[in-house]
Amino acid sequence: MTSHSLHPDTWVDQYADYLFNYAVIRVSDAEIAKDIVQETFLAGLKSAKNFKGEAAERTWLISILKRKVIDHYRKINSNKGKAEVRMTYNSSVDSDGDWLEEQVADPFSILENDGIENEELGSAIHDCISKLPKKQGQVFKMKTIQGISTEDICNELEINPSNLWVMIHRSRTALMDCLNQNWFNI
């Protein structure tokens, strides 16, 4: 296989599960995620002539998928869509919730060991989140991972904004301590 070759006939078998998992985490809806993956494959076919082979085939498809997720949120004009745009295109901005994403190795790098490291770090992060007190973990996931607004979280969990931010701060501190013990010092 040359570096400029695409093999669309193998995309579904090789990449569908990975792309679906990536999308469903970002849109929190399996049906929408399936649609976005299908749109990604279609866009890949339409723009195959533009593939220069500068990245791995999966990396190229992920970049298309990222744009499709952003487009989805633009269509519904949500805050999470704006956050996705900010994280994807301007990660140098210091904003709440992005610190964790910036700590994870780039899962789309074509370097051989990055995939292994990212999978191990992802497992370490999930393990550390599961060790948080239940409500702290719930608040952290809702705010940082799912991008739910402070007001919506406070209403749903019947807490005030001060309590929410204390829980977020404690969660971040506990997660960094846990990651320092279980990942960074390996």
Show me where the domains of the chain are located.
1-93, 95-186
- The whole-number pLDDT of residue 135 equals 92
Beta carbons of 97 and 143 less than 8 angstroms apart: yes
**The pTM is what?**
0.43
Residues 104-131 as b or e (16 or more Cβ within 10 Å = b) = ebebbeeeeeebebbeebeebbeebbee
Name which of 110, 160, 157, 119 is nearest 137 in CA terms. 157
Structural fold of domain 1-93: Rna Polymerase Sigma Factor; Chain: A (1.10.1740)
| Structure tokens given for 99 | 């610190």
Beta carbons of 137 and 130 less than 8 angstroms apart: yes
Cα(136)–Cα(129) distance, integer angstroms? 9
- The whole-number pLDDT of residue 133 equals 93
Mean pLDDT calculated for residue range 90-109: 41
* 183: confidence class by pLDDT, cuts 50, 70, 90: low
What CATH number labels 95-186?
Answer: 1.10.10.10
